[in-house]
Each structure stands twice: as C-alpha cells, then as structure tokens.
C-alpha cells in the first residue's frame, strides 16, 4: 500500500504526477487483466465479510471517493464496485444538500448512509464537501470550517472503533486532463448529458480547490482513516489502484465463514422429515 | 414475453413445471452466454434511462422479486443486476418489519424505497409479504389481507401512472428442489451461514404458501403491473428469464440521449478560455 500515495508528513499534493502509476509497472492491458482477475477474490472476501455479520460480526468497510469533476468516481463505481455483489454494497452519492439536510449538522446525512455490519459502503462525495466546496465558495465561515477538521477526525475515529475500516481516496487529475474530458463531453452527443455548465465555473477555482484538498487531506489523514491520493489521468490505473486498496483492506480483515448457532445434525434430521 | 408465464385468466400455479425453461431452447451454457452477451445492451439501456432523468425524464423501472426460500433471489441480484451500473440501481431487501415500520401502514416502508427517476429499483421481497406470510402465519386478519389486494393494485397503478414500469417476478421452485438446496447449505461449511432453522418451519407450510401465492398473483396481476412466474429449479434459466424481462421492458421504454438545456457551442468557448 505504501507504493500508492498515503497522505503523511510532508505531503504535497502539487508534487504528485497525476499521470504516474505508482505500484504498477504494467500497461493498460495488464491493469485491466489484473482488475478482472482479482474480481473473484474481492467478491469472495466480500461474501465472507457479509456472512460473518449474519452471526454477530460487526465489521464493515467504507470507501470514500472525492475528486474534481470528471476525475472518474463514476468509473470506479462501475468497474471496481460493479465487480462485487450488489447485496453487500451500500452506495450513496451525496449531492448538494437538501433543505432538510441543511437544517441538521453536516454529519447528519452522512450517519444515515453508513454501511451496516458486513457491508462495503461507498461514498461518492462525502462530508469532505463541507471543508472543500464550502471553503472555496465561502458557504461556511473560516471558523466553522476550521472546527470541522477536528469533528471529522473524531467522527471517523468513533466509526473505526465501532468496526468500520475506512479508506479515503482522492482521485487526482491535472487541470489539462480535466479540460480534455470536459471537451469530450461537449464533443460527443452520447456524453452531452454528463456535462454541466457549473463544471466550468468550478474549474475556474482550480487552484483554490487544490489548496482546499491539500489542507483537508493533511488535517484529516489519520491512522484510523488514512487518505490515499491516486493519480487518475489514466483511468485504468485509478481503477486498479482502488481495487488494490480494497483488496488489501479486506485481506487484513481476513473474514472467515462464521461458526453457526444452530445444531447442524439436528437440522439435517428436521429437514429430512419434511 | 408471452413465452414466459404472465399471470392471466385461468392461471394455475400448481400446473407450472418448475424445471421447465419456457422461451429458451438452449442449454445452461447457451443461457449463460446469452446472459453475458446481453449485459452490454442492458447496461446501455440503463445508462440512457439514467441520462434522460438528468434532463427532465421521470421514468423508472421497478423489479419486484418474490419467492420461497432458496429459490434464487440472491443469485438474480448477483448475476443479473450485478451486470448493470450500481449507480443506476436502487436495491432494497425487505426483512421482517421493524417496530417503527410496523407502526405505519404496510406501504410506508415500500414508498421510502421506490426507485427515483432514471433508476432501476429492485425489491428483494416486498409489500407482497403482507399478503403472503401474513396470510399463512395469521399475522393479519383475513379482512385486513382481503383489503390489501385492492390497496396494492391502487398503489401500483399510481406508481405506473407516475412513470414507473413495474415487473413482478415470482421465482418458482418445487418442494423437492428446496429440500436439495437446504440440504446443500447444511452440507457445505461455506454455505452454513445461509441456513436458517426458520426456513424449515416455513417449509412445513409449503402448501399454504403456494395457495397464498396463487391468490395473491391472481388478485394483483394487472396490465400496469403484471406478475411473471419464472420456473426456477434451473438457476441459469431463471437468470436468463429475468434479464429477458428487464431487457424487454427497457427496449419498450426506448430511452434516448436527452436534449440538453445548455448552449453547446457557448460552453466550448467558455471551456477553451479556462
């Protein structure tokens, strides 16, 4: 995992080459093959995590995805999470908050979507919007934002203590790569629907977003809930890397088929009598 | 679609051969190949349905899965729904109702999990439990159950009027096939966790469940929300058949890339200026 980019002391977002492929020496074809080949292992680990929750297990996994527009969150969900069993996944895309959501504290809507025991939760955007877009667009005061880093760390520590393995990923693209992807959405009729004029507005604040990410990642990368910055100019690499992080986390959890609480032989006899 | 078993006048659940494969003449290998080959078309239709919802489209699809234990609902979700994009799916498994759910009318928890515009909703069990297990186990009075058929038809008609295409599927296995599958769960350590002693209790009411299904399917198969009984002793056939129903429904909806509400040329210029 250290071959990727865990956020630690001396972290400098601007120094990361968004087109690099740390930890992977092969090409696109090799990455896609590894992704497909590892789908079975991922699904198997997922099934055992789910199984253990049926007999008292309380562990879960939470994958948090953050990124600038077009960086590929959707592709991660489609190609990495899409290889797992939908029954063990709790996916939620956080949009601009509703009026009801805004009437509560910023973690209220997050708590409502946490994975249950046995599940892999996937957040497409998250509570980090409250220290990213809120900082850049001034939706909250600097004091409120300052306070949130600590609130987030405390929240995630409690979550980890309760059995959730947290993996936070920033998909990191360059400004040039974003322009090319937005251009493609404008050029291709089958991609027009993915384009939002607001994306260009946000793009005009590129540097401020990078600064907000630098601060947020530095302030909230903890032992319990580390951040990983994944270079994402190459989609195939980012997909491989996220699957790699999920696999490593699940291998460490090492879920096992649970011991059951019924008498197997007695049940065989009951069944035979029907 | 008529090659499957839509529930219509003269319907007799007991007369259906649970090991048959209506509408499909090939073998297991051919069915699995068709399932895989059609995954791309299904995903493409799903993406267009999702896309149209981003520009005013209000249509959605709801797949309701009901079955006796072990009939293969989980396999349908894993192998058919698993071939789609998780971002366009809203999957919910309805368990025994919580105390809060029981304090509301029986459709309250159902309404909360309906697919949004552009989504394919999947119900693993549903409001039909309130006329199936409730009838067999006497959880509700006969009068209350009698009333529910009409309430359900009205509810589903409103849902259809609001743009939801409803597909209701009963996966139909024989009592012998269920015994074999429960036996396998008791024989294989990696399947023990799937076995629940309550399954044998329910199995002892097999005939009453078949009767409850016969009545429920007959009373609630409507033009707006038809029931299909899918013979499910052969898992590969049931998966092919459910995908076939989904494909037919989506082909009829024929979703198109939406006309966008922004000026494409103006956006190209704005983008180029960044």
User: Measured on CA atoms in the order A99, A103, A105, A108, is the torsion positive or negative?
Assistant: negative
Q: Is B207 helix (H, G, I), strand (E, B) or coil?
A: helix
pLDDT tens digit sequence for B178-226: 999 999 999 999 999 999 999 999 999 999 999 999 999 999 999 999 9
Interface ipTM above 0.90: yes
Say if A4 falls within a structural domain: no
> Per the domain annotation, does A1 fall within a domain?
no
For residue A28, give the 3-state DSSP assignment: helix
d(CA A124, CA A234): 19
Residue B132 located in a structural domain: yes
Q: What six digits make up the tokens of B185?
A: 């769960």
Nearest residue to B171 (alpha-carbon basis) of B225, B102, B219, B239 = B239
CA-CA distance, A205 to A139, in Å (whole number)? 14
Phi first, then psi: give them for residue B62, nearest 5 degrees: -130, 120
Domain count, chain A: 1
Q: Which two tokens stand for residue A9?
A: 């002391």
The residue of chain B nearest to residue A260, with distances taken between CA atoms, is: B193
Report the distance separating Cα A182 and Cα B15, nearest Å: 57
| Residues of chain B contacting residue A51, judged by C-beta atoms under 8 Å apart | 193-194
pLDDT one-digit tens code per residue, B122-150: 999 999 999 999 999 999 999 999 999 99
Provide the 8-state DSSP code for B6.
B
Q: pLDDT per position in chain A (274 positions), as tens?
A: 444 667 777 899 999 999 999 999 999 999 999 999 999 999 999 999 999 999 999 999 999 999 999 999 999 999 999 999 999 999 999 999 999 999 999 999 999 999 999 999 999 999 999 999 999 999 999 999 999 999 999 999 999 999 999 999 999 999 999 999 999 999 999 999 999 999 999 999 999 999 999 999 999 999 999 999 999 999 999 999 999 999 999 999 999 999 999 999 999 999 999 9
Q: Any chain B CB within 8 A of the CB of A55?
A: yes
Give the chain A residue nearest B186 (alpha carbons): A264
Contact indicator for B227, B170 with CB cutoff of 8 Å = yes
Residues 68-127 of A with CB under 8 A from B: 74, 77-78, 81-82, 85-87, 89, 91, 93, 122, 124
In a domain, A125, yes or no: yes
If you search the block for the tokens 């599958």, which residue do you land on?
B181
State how far the Cα of A173 lies from the Cα of A235, in Å rounded to an integer: 10
Q: Is residue A15 less than 8 Å (CB to CB) from chain B?
A: no
Widest CA span in chain B = 72
Beta bridge partners of B64: B123, B168
For residue A195, give Cα distances in angstroms to A69, A200, B15: 10, 9, 53
Question: A268: domain range?
Answer: 13-272
B262–A204 C-beta distance less than 8 A: no
> How many A×B Cβ pairs under 8 Å?
107
Does residue B236 have a pLDDT over 60? Answer: yes
**Inside any domain, residue A5:** no
What is the predicted pLDDT for the residue at A137? 97
Which residue pairs, CB below 8 angstroms and at least 24 apart, start in B26-29? B28/B234, B28/B236
Pairing label, strands B60-67, A227-231: unpaired
With CB atoms and an 8 Å threshold, state whether A86 touches B86.
yes
- Inter-chain touch A257–B190, beta carbons under 8 Å: yes
Is the CB of B87 less than 8 angstroms away from the CB of A124? yes
Phi then psi for B209, rounded to 5 degrees? -65, -40
Q: How confident is the model at residue B250 (pLDDT cuts 50, 70, 90)?
A: very high
Closest CA to A246 of A46, A92, A58: A46
In the predicted model, is pLDDT for residue B75 greater than 80? yes
| Structure confidence at residue B5 as a pLDDT band (50, 70, 90) | low
Tell me the shortest Cα–Cα distance from A10 to chain B, in angstroms.
30
Residue B38's pLDDT band (cuts 50, 70, 90)? very high
Taking contacts as CB-CB distances below 8 angstroms, the residues of chain B near A203 are 271, 274
CA dihedral (B236, B240, B242, B246) in degrees, to 10, reads: 160
Taking the CA atoms of A233, A234, A237 and A238 in sequence, report the sign of the dihedral they define: positive
As given in the structure block, the two tokens for residue B269 are: 């210029």
At A140 the pLDDT is 97
CA B63/CA B235 separation, integer angstroms? 18
Stated as kind and residue range, the H or E segment containing B91 is: strand B89-93
Nearest to B257 among A55, A189, A203 (CB): A189
Q: Residue B188, Cα to own-chain centre: how many angstroms?
A: 28
Which residues lie across from B47 on neighbouring strands?
Answer: none
Strands of the sheet with A164-172, listed across from one edge: A89-93, A120-124, A60-67, A164-172, A227-231
Residue B148 lies inside a defined structural domain of this protein: yes
pTM confidence score:
0.95
For residue B91, the chain A residues in CB contact (below 8 A) are 86-87
Percentage of chain B lying above the pLDDT 90 cut: 95
The answer to whether residue A2 sits within a structural domain is no
| CA–CA separation, B11 and B217 (whole Å) | 9
Residue A137 is encoded by which pair of tokens?
A: 């667009």
Q: Give, as one character, the DSSP assignment of residue B21.
A: -
Q: B236 lies in a domain?
A: yes
In what order do the strands lie in the sheet containing B89-93?
A: B89-93, B120-124, B60-67, B164-172, B227-231
Q: Return the CATH number at B53.
A: 3.40.50.300
Angle value at C-alpha A86, between A82 and A88, nearest 5 degrees: 120
């Amino acid at each position: 995992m250290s071959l990727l980019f865990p956020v630690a002391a001396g972290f400098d977002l601007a120094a990361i080459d968004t087109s690099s492929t740390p930890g992977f020496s092969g090409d696109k074809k090799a990455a896609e093959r590894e992704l497909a080949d590892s789908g079975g292992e991922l699904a198997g680990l997922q099934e055992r995590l789910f199984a253990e929750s049926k007999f008292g297990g309380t562990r879960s996994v939470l994958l948090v995805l953050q990124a600038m527009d077009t960086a590929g969150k959707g592709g991660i969900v489609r190609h990495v999470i899409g290889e797992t069993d939908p029954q063990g996944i709790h996916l939620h895309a956080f949009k601009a908050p509703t009026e009801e959501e805004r009437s509560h504290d910023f973690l209220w809507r997050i708590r409502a979507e946490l994975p249950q025991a046995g599940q892999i939760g996937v957040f497409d955007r998250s509570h980090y919007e409250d220290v990213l877009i809120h900082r850049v667009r001034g939706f909250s005061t600097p004091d409120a934002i300052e306070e949130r880093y600590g609130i987030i760390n405390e929240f995630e520590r409690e979550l980890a203590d309760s059995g959730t393995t947290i993996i936070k990923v920033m998909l990191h693209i360059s400004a040039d790569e974003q322009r090319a992807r937005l251009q493609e959405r404008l050029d291709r009729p089958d991609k027009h629907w993915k384009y939002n004029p607001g994306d260009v507005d946000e793009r005009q604040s590129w540097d401020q977003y990078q600064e907000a990410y630098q601060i947020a990642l530095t302030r909230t990368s903890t032992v319990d809930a580390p951040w990983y910055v994944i270079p994402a100019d190459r989609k195939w690499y980012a997909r491989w890397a996220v699957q790699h992080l999920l696999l490593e986390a699940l291998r460490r959890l090492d879920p096992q088929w649970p011991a059951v609480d019924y008498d197997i032989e007695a049940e065989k006899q009951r069944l035979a009598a029907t």
